[in-house]
Amino acid sequence: MRIVQILTALIVTGVLYLVVFEREQLLAFAGAAPQTEQQANAPDDTGHVVSVVAQAMQAQEIDSAVILRGQTEAARKVELRSEITGQVISSPLRKGKYVTRDTIMCELDPGTRQANLAEANAAIAEAEAARPEASARVIEAQAVLREAEINARAARELSKNGYASETKLANAEAAIESARAAVEAATGGLASAEARILSAQAAVASAEKEIDRLTIEAPFDGIIEDDTAELGSLMQPGSLCGTVIQLDPIKVVGFVPETEVNRIEMGAKAGARLTTGQQVVGRVTFLSRSADEVTRTFRVEIDVANPDLDIREGQTAEVAISAPGAKAHLLPQSSLTLNDDGALGVRVVDTGDIVRFIPVKVLRDTVDGIWVSGLPETVSVIVVGQEYVVDGVTVKPTYREAQR
């Protein structure tokens, strides 16, 4: 019995050695040499070839959109700040409140500003009252000058005939110079009166502007982002009264890579899908001419109507901007496969029913199939059996009509 067990063990060891270490020689001895995948798919001595199902595809023009990630931004946002010093005398408006243009956000205590305005108005009245007197002095001085000139001419004629002394002539000419000086002085007085009027008017305008600055108003329709300044708080120049944002329309902002920027045109139709699932449509209103120094991308803005204000600022959005169309094929997703290098593509039936692998680029995924580019205008794509054939083998294709 022990000898039988030893012989059995030797036989099993020998068989395992042949199967593991001498497999090719064993198969060759048995007449069953291993086949490669291509040989397996080649026709045998009986003429048998692999059968596949193919579908004739025709390229179609599709709208090739530029896909971006972005976020929503307020169309306008402004921080309202005080220009003067004063105490707030109005009740605060709470954040989230919708305000219209010219709504008073903050009102400051006028203090002595009304008195300053009254004083400036009084200064105008005083300056204007002095103007007629100054004008009269100019007229009076001009009359004296004309009289002195007449007297001087008479003195010259009498002096020529010896009827007037040199002293009288000299006095007449001196009177002319004195009258001219009086005219200049009167003219200067009139100009000074005019200047006082202008100064008083400027003081009035300044006082009125100070009074206008007592009320800080909303520059446009919008929503208050934060509570306005509290009643009784002291405002200094630059102190924040409140922040107003405009959300209708609202902007969807994204950043376009260098490779895609030339495909976008101003006014192009665009759509966005928010993280809430809401879908909106708008148009491109801005495309930056300068790239971001860090990301090398270009800012693009899309205006979207938001009448109900249900879109908030800062929401993440997936943006699709329409671009010039491109030729593409609509294929079943199951027809896509990978080659030995890991490239995505499809296997097609070429001339002579020879299989050929063609890499493709996925453009868009839809419920009807997947749009790809990179194929010839007309091509027969293997939709069943593509995983069992490789490049160069001959197949027996059965064609089916494209689903519509």
Is it the case that residue 388 has pLDDT exceeding 70?
Answer: yes
What is the spatial distance between Cα 232 and Cα 90, in angstroms, rounded to a whole number? 8
Q: Which CATH class is domain 80-110+216-242?
A: mainly beta
User: How many other CB atoms are there within 10 angstroms of residue 217's CB atom?
Assistant: 16
DSSP code per residue over 52-98:
EEEEEEE-EEE--PEEEEEEEEEEEEEEEE-SS-EEB-SPPPPTT-E
Domain assignments of the chain as residue spans, ordered by start: 51-63+327-400, 80-110+216-242, 112-213, 244-323
- The pLDDT confidence band at residue 179, using thresholds 50, 70 and 90, is confident
Interaxial angle between packed helices 23-30 and 2-21, expressed in degrees from 0 to 180 and rounded to the nearest 10: 90
**8-state DSSP, 402:** P
pLDDT in tens, 232-260: 999 999 999 999 999 999 999 999 998 88
Residue 104: which of 216, 243, 231, 225 has the closest Cα? 216
Q: Are strands 361-366 and 354-359 parallel, antiparallel or unpaired?
A: unpaired
pLDDT per residue as tens digits for the range 60-81 = 887 678 889 999 999 999 999 9
State yes or no: pLDDT of 266 exceeds 50: yes
**Mean pLDDT confidence for 211-229:** 93
CATH match of 244-323 with 2.40.30.170: yes
Q: pLDDT band for 38, please (50, 70, 90 cuts).
A: very low
Cβ neighbors of 392 (< 8 A, separation 6 or more) are 38, 354, 355, 356
pLDDT value for 128: 81
> In which element (H, E) is residue 384 found?
strand 378-384
pLDDT at 104 exceeding the cut of 90: yes
Residue type, 222: G
CA–CA separation, 23 and 258 (whole Å): 58
CA 16 and chain centroid, separation: 74
Q: Mean per-residue pLDDT for 96-107? A: 93
Model pLDDT, residue 40: 44
What one-character DSSP code corresponds to residue 351?
A: G
C-alpha torsion sign, points 3, 7, 9, 10? positive
User: Which architecture characterizes domain 51-63+327-400 according to CATH?
Assistant: Beta Barrel (2.40)
% of the chain surpassing 70 pLDDT: 85
- When pLDDT is cut at 50, 70 and 90, the band that residue 48 belongs to is low
Helices and strands, number each (H, E), in the chain:
5, 22
Confidence (pLDDT) at 42: 47
Position 212 confidence tier, pLDDT thresholds 50, 70, 90? very high
Tell me the pLDDT band of 274, cut-offs 50, 70 and 90. very high
User: Exposed, middle or buried: residue 139 (CB in 10 Å: 0-12, 13-18, 19+)?
Assistant: exposed
Q: How confident is the model at residue 142 (pLDDT cuts 50, 70, 90)?
A: confident
Please tell me the predicted confidence (pLDDT) of residue 131: 81
Please say if the pLDDT value at position 190 is more than 70.
yes
Q: What is the mean pLDDT of the chain?
A: 84
